[in-house]
Amino acid sequence: MSTVADIRGLPSLNDADARLLEQLIEGLGRDALIGLSGYLADRARQASRTDDAPAPPAPPAATVLYGSQTGHAEHLAADLVARMRATGLSVRLHAADEYPRRELKDEQLLLVIISTQGDGDPPDNAREMLDFVNGRRAPRLESLRYAVLALGDSSYPQFCDVGRQVDGKLAALGGRRMLPLAEADMDFETIATPWAAQVLEQTRILLGRPASAVKAAEPAHAVHSAPEVTRSRPFAAELLVNQRITGRRSDRDVRHMELLTDGSGLSYQPGDSLGVWIEQADPLVEEILDRLELDGDAEVEFSGETMALYRWLKERRELTVLTRPFLAAHADRCRAAPLREALEPEHRDRLSQLLGTWQLADLLAHHPAEWKAADLIAALRPLAPRVYSISSSPLLSDGEEVHLTVALVDYRLEGAHRWGAGSRCLTDLGQGAHARVFLEPNQRFRLPVDGNRDTIMIGPGTGVAPFRAFVQHRAATGARGRNWLFFGNRHFRGEFLYQVEWQEALAKKQLHRLDLAFSRDGAERVYVQHRMQEQAAELYAWVEGGAYIYVCGDASRMAPDVQSALVSIGMQQGHLSAEGAAEWLQKLTREGRYVRDVY
């Protein structure tokens, strides 16, 4: 593995330690190394929790936040900061939406200057902050002292409404007012100037006190005593966010979902997936009972368990996915020639077509047959949990949140409304509801241990999910390697998943290249593999420079097409034969540098 970067180049590792470490891992096999990397990552997280990591630079004594549309609040905030700094205070200044919100809970002194817009709306650069403090995730602010200056125009009915809201909310969260809310009209200096003077004075009094007045940092969390979460012992995670992220005119419904796993002991890494236990939707259970003329209340016993038929169907059986054995059993019952035919070996295409398009309800509609409740439960497949790539880095939420990116399967077949059981169950959940989840780790789909390595991420559609986690994680760990994302979908306007986040990541140099393929916007269909081909030389150079290639998303077409694109890039750029290029890819696979998570 000649391309692995020198361990001695790693930041924050001294030469002696580096040498020791090198000796230790010398000769370890691939699995051991991968295992070790996971272990080290966990250790790193422990370390940051127990605070035996090098102390981070002292946080500033105060923070000034502004929300401003036309610049008044912004200027006032900048002036205030300048004056505070002039007196020797360490202060930071942020537009409300640029403030690292996770730090709010530790904030000691917060000064907010915010205007009211529209008909009582927040300024654009404070909307997210307002959502946050008004939302369920707003932290308690017991150690906070604060003051709010509200800007407004008293000719509007909702005078200074936003400032009032912020002031009230901070108090409700436990913060203590350093000064009463100040409300400035269009002649805002009249109020703003004396307010700033008072702020300065109060700050001096407050921060002049002995250090004991400043609350000590929270002790590290006690070790979790909760039982380990497993597939059979899932954790009930509260749903915080269920947000459609495809545009109004898109006929694809993709959701960004945020689950609270606080207290579950679930400890995940980018690349892992989340398993979710699901239930069938009532209309489907009812349709099936109707079609079979069965009584949902009838008690049914199966392998030692007894419960109502309705519950068996809703909670325990697959209804949206047909299986071959069930089809065979059903064909026997209804004696349908076409069904039997489809089961014959020479008609495999017909069978897979049938299994891919028909659900149980469609089968019953086309080929009615009689089933006894107990037989039905015995023949249907037990309901399996669904799996979704985790689209967040644990580092952004202290491991307390898991984000998913879920595409709702929803379509009409011959006029009947059909859906995917798992994606519907999840996307139907309202805020505050719970989902039963467990971790599906994926040890192979891991970021390079060496943060200096480049990554190439190919993730069209919801395949982009783990790469959101990757990019977040690499930014949070200060990894210095470059990140290159290939993303595609049908339409730019409504289906550019996480567009704004990618734009921000590009601007912050957390993402270095982004190539896009929107297949239905132009005259010709373009997919990610075409974009890869267009960038063949560059892509090959990245790989030869040690980059890792990740592919996630559709297994049936995208993954093979991407693979052929890689082979042809290898041939073209590396002057390899077809076999040579295949061997090149295999070598990358062995080195863990070409990994896929496709479904």
Partner 1 sequence: MNIPDDTDDLSGLDPNEAMKLNSHYLRGTILESIADPVTGAMHSDDSKLIRYHGTYQQDDRDLREERRKQKLEPLYEFMLRVRAPGGVATPRQWLAMDELTRKYGSGTLRLTSRQTFQVHCISKEDLAPSIRAVNASLLDTIATSGDVNRNVVCSSSPLIPGQHAAVVYWAKTLSDHLLPKTNAYHELWLGADPVDPSTEHEPLYGRRYLPRKFKIAIAVPPINDVDVFKDDLGFVAIFADERLVGFNVSVGGGLSTTQGDATTFPRLADVIGFIAPEQAIAVAEQVIAVQRDLGNRASRSHARLKYTIDRIGIGAFKAELERRLGFQLTPTRSYRFDETSDRFGWTDAGDGLLHLCLYLRAGRVANTDESRLLDGMRAIATIHDGEFRLTSNQNLVIANVRSGNRAAIQALVDRYGLDGYARFRRFRLDALSCVALPTCPLAMAEAERYFPHLLEEVEGLLERHGLEDAPLLFRISGCPNSCSRSYLGEIGLVGRAIGRYDLRLGADSRGERLNVVHRENVGELELLDELDQLFRRYAGERHNGEGFGDFVCRSGIVPHGK
Ligand X SMILES: Cc1cc2nc3c(=O)[nH]c(=O)nc-3n(C[C@H](O)[C@H](O)[C@H](O)COP(=O)(O)O)c2cc1C
Query: What is the H or E stretch that residue 404 is in?
Result: strand 401-407
Out of 272, 495, 515, 597, name the contact with ligand FAD by CB under 6 A: 597
Per-residue binding string, ligand X, 118-157, x by CB under 6 A, is: xxx--x---------------------------xxx--x-
Picked from ligand FAD, partner 1, ligand X, none, the partner binding residue 423 (CB below 5 to 8 A depending on kind) is: ligand FAD
Site string for ligand X, 56-75 (x = CB under 6 A): ------------xxxxxxx-
- Helix H or strand E segment including 284: helix 282-292
Give alpha helix (H) positions in 429-482.
465-476
CB 266 within 8 A of CB 235: yes
Q: Look at the block and give the residue holding tokens 């409504």.
A: 494
Alpha carbon of 587 to those of 277, 450, 535, 582, 583: distances in Å?
A: 37, 19, 22, 9, 6
Does position 325 interact with ligand X (CB under 6 A)? The reply is no
Does 474 participate in binding ligand X (rule CB under 6 A)? no
Using CB under 6 A, which residues numbered 47 to 106 contact ligand FAD?
none
Residues near partner 1 (CB under 8 A) are 118-119, 127, 153, 155-156, 186, 243-248, 256, 492-494, 496-503, 506, 514, 516
b/e 37-60 (16+ beta carbons within 10 angstroms → b): bbeebeeebeeeeeeeeeeeeeeb
Q: Does 364 bind ligand FAD (CB under 6 A)?
A: no
Q: Of 182 and 363, which has the nearer Cβ to ligand X?
A: 182
The residue whose Cβ lies closest to ligand X is 152
- Cα 515 to chain centroid distance, Å, stands at 21
In the region spanning residues 83 to 122, those forming contacts with ligand X, defined by CB under 6 A, are: 115-120
Q: Is residue 427 involved in binding ligand X (CB under 6 A)?
A: no
Q: Which of partner 1, ligand X, ligand FAD, none lies near 123, with the C-beta cut-off 5 to 8 A by kind?
A: ligand X
C-beta of 161 vs 318, nearer to ligand X: 161
* 465 scored as a contact of ligand FAD (CB under 6 A): yes
Residue 183 forms beta bridges with which residues? 150
Q: DSSP secondary-structure letter at 64?
A: E
CB 185, min distance to ligand X, A: 8
Nearer to ligand FAD, 317 or 386 (CB): 386
Both structure tokens of 539: 């892509």
Tell me how many residues contact ligand X (CB under 6 A). 23
Tell whether residue 423 is a contact of ligand FAD (CB under 6 A): yes
Q: From the CB of 114, what's the least distance to ligand X, in Å?
A: 8
For ligand FAD, give the closer residue by CB, 152 or 420: 420
Q: 465-476 and 499-507 are packed helices; what angle lies between their axes, rounded to 10 degrees? A: 30
How far apart CA 112 and CA 163 sit, in angstroms, is 8
Contact indicator for 456, 539 with CB cutoff of 8 Å: yes
- By CB under 6 A, residue 556 contacts ligand FAD: no
Please count the residues of the chain.
599
Shortest distance, position 62 Cβ to ligand X, whole Å: 20
DSSP code per residue over 225-277: -SPPP-SSS-EEEEEEEEEE-S-TT-S--EEEEEEE-TTS-----TT-EEEEE
- Cα separation, 546 vs 451, in Å, equals 11
Which residue lies nearer to ligand X by CB, 115 or 427? Answer: 115
309 Cα distance to chain centroid? 36
- Do residues 391 and 462 make contact, with C-beta atoms less than 8 angstroms apart? no
Each residue 424-463 as x (binds ligand FAD by CB under 6 A) or -, in order, gives --------------------------------------x-
The listed partner (ligand FAD, ligand X, partner 1, none) that binds 405, CB under 5 to 8 Å by sort, is: ligand FAD
Q: Which does 69 bind (CB under 5 to 8 A by kind): ligand FAD, ligand X, partner 1, none?
A: ligand X
Q: What is the edge-to-edge ordering of all strands in the sheet holding 548-553? A: 513-518, 483-489, 455-458, 548-553, 594-598
Q: Could you list the residues that contact ligand FAD (CB under 6 A)?
A: 273, 320-321, 356-357, 359, 386-389, 405-407, 409, 411, 413, 420-423, 462, 465, 597, 599
Q: Please report, as ranges, the residues that interact with ligand X according to CB under 6 A.
A: 68-74, 115-120, 123, 151-153, 156, 158-161, 188
